[in-house]
Structure 1
Amino acid sequence: MTSTTSGIRKLLRLSLKWRLTLLFVAGMMVLLMILTTFIYWSTSKLVYIHEQHLLDQKAEAIAADLKTQLTEDKYLDANYVKQLLTNYATKQQAIILLDHQGKRLASVVGPDWVTDPLKGLPAQLIGEAPILLDGAHPPLTIRVKQENELLDPYLHILLLMLGVASIVTLVISSFGGYFLARVGLSPLDRLITDIRRIRPSHLSTRLPAHGTSAEINDLVRAFNSLLDRVEEAMKKQQQFIADASHEFRTPLAIIDGYVRLLHRWGKQNQAIRDEALIAMDHECSRLFSLIDDMLSLAKFQHVSQIGEDDGKKMQSMVPLLKEIRNVWTSTFPKHLSLSVNWTEPIAMTMEPPKIRQLLDILLDNARKYTETGEVALTATTERGWVHLLVEDTGIGIPEEEMENVFERFYRVDKSRNRHRGGSGLGLPIAKSIVQEYGGRISIRRSASGGTIVHVELPVLARDAD
């Protein structure tokens, strides 16, 4: 078992060219074995049939001569019979004249015949012919026996020829298989060479797909598509690093500035020291909030990719909606009202903390960017989907910015969003939560000029999209 496993491992370590060659040679070997066996069997069968036919013809000829002699002379001349049988017999044949009871009347054996002609051997061919006489004379039988060893040399020669032909064919097929594998895989070799030339700093390079087979073209297109996705991911990663660095740099720069201020004048000035401490505390809070958002985003995207299920179960959303209404109503300013409405029954497979975080993000955005008016949260169920709509009467989002609001660190109005404390990660986190549930999220302008965020979540759990 160990040697077989070791052999399989060695075979798998071979190049595809050699594996195809070995597979082709193995296939040819099996085919040649089957073909050689069939040819040998069919040829030997034909030879035996031919020899049997010759023995039958010889027996019929002897029977015809004896019948002629008996018809003319009316009796059986022993010397004539002996001479006739001797003339027909060969070295490895025995000819016997039998009466109607199977008793031997006369027999002649060749010099190479060593057994009793009346004894049957398994490796014998027997030809018989009756001698039918006129009148009341009982019929006689001529039996011609021949040992199969007479045909063995010819069959050995046939077997030798077939073996030599098979070996020559196998050798030629080995070279031919290697050549065909080499020619057939040459486009793949060129493709590997082109792939190795691609450097991480030149991901925009694409492989050419001209003058190759359809399979190689499909492989090239798939690899180029992979390069497109890798390049896009690299750009997003670089953009994320740049945006994250920028986001971290601003509060750190403020903290550094106040630290320098404290070193210069704040040690003796109580007002400056208090102002610096308050500002540094505020910026530290921003940093911690930003780090928490980034960790949440990474966590949700990881869960969405591997398809984890952290204990979702079917339950009513009514307690969660009541909790959200009670908590958020007290946080809204007097000039801004909040309404939370739902249509019962409303239930879905969910984890309440994640759905709470999703709604918190949407309501927080609506509260920040709505000066006066109303923010409305509506929850309904329709055809296996839960629909959550958060509509506000705020400043709205320009149409050209709609497709970018779910990008990380993206802000429609940088200065205004920074002033309001946003990090640009709220909506990306919301989108990650929705994708984890296999749902959809969209955003559009309302009739009043505000914003409507529409979330669709499946009632029953399904794989993330």
Structure 2
Amino acid sequence: MKNRFSTKITTFVIVILLFVIITMVYASYLISENFYKENLRNDVEHRLRSHAIAIEHQFDLPTINHVFLMEQKEDVHLGLFDQNLQLILQSDSLDDEWVDTYREWIKDQLAVEHPFPIIDDVHTGIGFHIPHIWGVHPIVTQGEIQGYLFMDQDTEKFEATKAKLIQLFGIMGIITFIIGFFLLMYLTNKMSRPLREMGRATTEIANGNFENIPKESGSDEVGQLARDIKSMAHQLKEYRDSRQQFISHISHDLRTPITYIKGYSAILKDSADLKEEERIRTVEVIYNEATRMEHLVQDLFQLSKLEEGRIGIQKEKFQALPWLSQLIESRTMQLEKKNVTLKLRSNQEDIVLFADEFHLSKAVVNLVENSIRYCQSGDEIEVAVFKEGKQVCINITDTGIGIPEADIPHIWDRFYRVDKARTSHSGGSGLGLAIVKQIIELHNGTVTVQSQVGVGTTFSLCLPDST
């Protein structure tokens, strides 16, 4: 692919690498050139000063000739000028134009105060094809200036090796580039391979295949991304399975009352000589099934709004004991029908709750009805309200059949039933505990459960204490 991440990062780094290599090669050349010229300047300065001292020490023709003989080199011109800058002696034959150029330069230097010897880099001149280094030093004997010793040193030796230096630096740059290129290709491929795998995995996940999950690799950002994708796939799979179970459960729980209503309605329709007693029983069945279906739809609607946060909580302060007493009183018929005893207990009389009374009543009633549903004749239920630190807690404890430990983490799921044989006729809609959890969480509270099979179950609702 032309737009692959590895291609983009490789191209970017190669451009940076080329820029760095070219910059380093050019900088290395400049450093080498400056180093050579600086050493050459120092050498010219040393030689010029030494020759001037020798001539000043013994100002005669043999000494001067000896000095000029020492500087007879192809890359050096030595000249001796008198006080009036007339050329007295030179190391080799020079054109008058060269001599005039030297003379003008010396005049310019002497016009400004400089410490001697005066050394300067000259980059332009007559017939110059390479930079030169010029220097001048006065010849002083008995306190009087007798003349000026001039030296012209070209940089031909460095210029001759310039091509070799450029070639050497170029080879070093190419080798560095090749090594960096292959190392970069290896690293980018190693980095992009898990990203490509995760890209393929996310495509599979988008197509509904949650099994092709990338392996976790390392503890870096790429490994963290793989773990996040794995977690996302797991949650999406749970959501898909939950949705399928939801559709299956709602279809089953709606189909049953509809079947009853349809069947008994047909009896009313087709049986003209139906006895009054049978007609009343038939109408009662239709009414009960319609009521059950209505409750199921209401629970679904309420749970949907709770999960979407579309239900507002209107908190107010109210006394806990009178409120709980009314709720228990409203369930007297259910308790008597199953021969179950319910007790209310509190460690103090004036406990105040700060909550939405209507929705909290719904949560407590759901838990009480759930306890009644799973109790046997003669069992007991206890509702206890008490303060615990900065919380007010309501415990609903029963001596019913209990919940197996493996089922406890799932009881808050929609339509989950511990006893799979139960239906909405005998086990409720399967939405009650899910509604309880949503209501308590909207109050910034917690709901927990402890249960033991054959011993009983305790649900604990804890809300922040407003007092």
TM-score, normalization: structure 2? 0.69
Letter in 2 for 1:16: F
1:35 counterpart = 2:24 = yes
Tell me, in whole angstroms, the C-alpha distance in 1 between the residues paired with 2:32 and 2:273: 113
Q: Give the conservation status (yes or no) of the 8 Å contact 1:55–1:127.
A: yes
Deviation at 1:192, TM superposition (A): 5.3
Change (3 A) 1:194 1:376: closer
RMSD, aligned CA: 5.0
Change (3 A) 1:140 1:226: farther
Which residue of 1 is the match for residue 346 of structure 2? 341
Which residue of 1 is the match for residue 451 of structure 2? 444
Letter in 1 for 2:298: D
Q: Kindly, what percent of the aligned residue pairs are identical?
A: 18
Tell me, in whole angstroms, the C-alpha distance in 2 between the residues paired with 1:83 and 1:213: 76
Tell me, in whole angstroms, the C-alpha distance in 2 between the residues paired with 1:33 and 1:268: 104
Which residue of 2 is the match for residue 116 of structure 1? 105
Deviation at 1:59, TM superposition (A): 0.5
Change (3 A) 1:55 1:141: farther
Change (3 A) 1:423 1:183: closer
Letter in 1 for 2:323: E
Alignment of 1:79-98 (within 5 A): 84=68
Which residue of 2 is the match for residue 363 of structure 1? 368
Letter in 1 for 2:397: E
Change (3 A) 1:89 1:419: closer
Residue 394 (structure 2) aligned to one of 376, 382, 388: 388
Structure 2 SS opposite 1:387:
strand
Deviation at 1:18, TM superposition (A): 0.9
Change (3 A) 1:458 1:36: farther
Q: Give the conservation status (yes or no) of the 8 Å contact 1:386–1:456.
A: yes
Moved more, 220-229 or 378-387: 220-229
1:260 counterpart = 2:248 = no
Deviation at 1:428, TM superposition (A): 2.3
Which residue of 2 is the match for residue 463 of structure 1? none
Which residue of 1 is the match for residue 247 of structure 2? 241
Which residue of 1 is the match for residue 112 of structure 2? none
Q: Give the conservation status (yes or no) of the 8 Å contact 1:82–1:106.
A: no
Structure 2 SS opposite 1:249:
helix
Tell me, in whole angstroms, the C-alpha distance in 2 between the residues paired with 1:349 and 1:104: 110
Q: Give the conservation status (yes or no) of the 8 Å contact 1:89–1:108.
A: no
Change (3 A) 1:386 1:155: farther
Change (3 A) 1:27 1:353: farther
Which residue of 2 is the match for residue 58 of structure 1? 47
Deviation at 1:357, TM superposition (A): 2.7
Letter in 1 for 2:402: I
1:289 counterpart = 2:295 = yes
Structure 1 SS opposite 2:107:
coil
Q: Deviations over 1:52-104 (max 9, x none)?
A: 0231243035325523541xx4xxx69968994996697886756687xxx85
Which residue of 1 is the match for residue 114 of structure 2? none
Change (3 A) 1:401 1:285: farther
Tell me, in whole angstroms, the C-alpha distance in 2 between the residues paired with 1:239 and 1:150: 90
Structure 2 SS opposite 1:26:
helix
Structure 1 SS opposite 2:291:
helix
Deviation at 1:425, TM superposition (A): 1.4
Which residue of 2 is the match for residue 279 of structure 1? 285
Change (3 A) 1:30 1:385: farther
Deviation at 1:429, TM superposition (A): 1.9
Deviation at 1:251, TM superposition (A): 0.6
Q: Give the conservation status (yes or no) of the 8 Å contact 1:377–1:389.
A: yes
Change (3 A) 1:396 1:27: same
Letter in 1 for 2:360: I
Which residue of 1 is the match for residue 184 of structure 2? 177
Alignment of 1:161-240 (within 5 A): 168=174, 172=178, 173=180, 177-178=184-185, 180-182=187-189, 185-186=192-193, 188-189=195-196, 203-204=210-211, 223-224=229-230, 226-240=232-246
Q: Give the conservation status (yes or no) of the 8 Å contact 1:266–1:273.
A: no
1:250 counterpart = 2:256 = yes
Q: Give the conservation status (yes or no) of the 8 Å contact 2:450–2:459.
A: yes
Deviation at 1:250, TM superposition (A): 0.7
Deviation at 1:182, TM superposition (A): 3.5
Deviation at 1:46, TM superposition (A): 0.1
Which residue of 2 is the match for residue 323 of structure 1? 323
TM-score, normalization: structure 1? 0.69
Which residue of 2 is the match for residue 5 of structure 1? none
Letter in 2 for 1:326: Q
Tell me, in whole angstroms, the C-alpha distance in 1 between the residues paired with 2:285 and 2:358: 32
Q: Show structure 1 runs of 5+ residues with no match.
A: 1-12, 461-465
Deviation at 1:21, TM superposition (A): 0.3
Tell me, in whole angstroms, the C-alpha distance in 2 between the residues paired with 1:352 and 1:147: 104
Tell me, in whole angstroms, the C-alpha distance in 2 between the residues paired with 1:397 and 1:270: 43
Letter in 2 for 1:284: A
Which residue of 2 is the match for residue 453 of structure 1? 459
Tell me, in whole angstroms, the C-alpha distance in 2 between the residues paired with 1:234 and 1:267: 51
Which residue of 1 is the match for residue 129 of structure 2? none
Tell me, in whole angstroms, the C-alpha distance in 2 between the residues paired with 1:63 and 1:230: 93
Change (3 A) 1:456 1:141: farther
Q: Deviations over 1:385-432 (max 9, x none)?
A: 432211245x34254576254343234556777445711211222233
Q: Deviations over 1:119-176 (max 9, x none)?
A: 149754554667675xx54577856465999799679858965895698568745576
Tell me, in whole angstroms, the C-alpha distance in 2 between the residues paired with 1:162 and 1:398: 82
Structure 2 SS opposite 1:117:
helix
Q: Give the conservation status (yes or no) of the 8 Å contact 1:445–1:452.
A: no
Tell me, in whole angstroms, the C-alpha distance in 2 between the residues paired with 1:157 and 1:47: 15
Structure 1 SS opposite 2:460:
strand
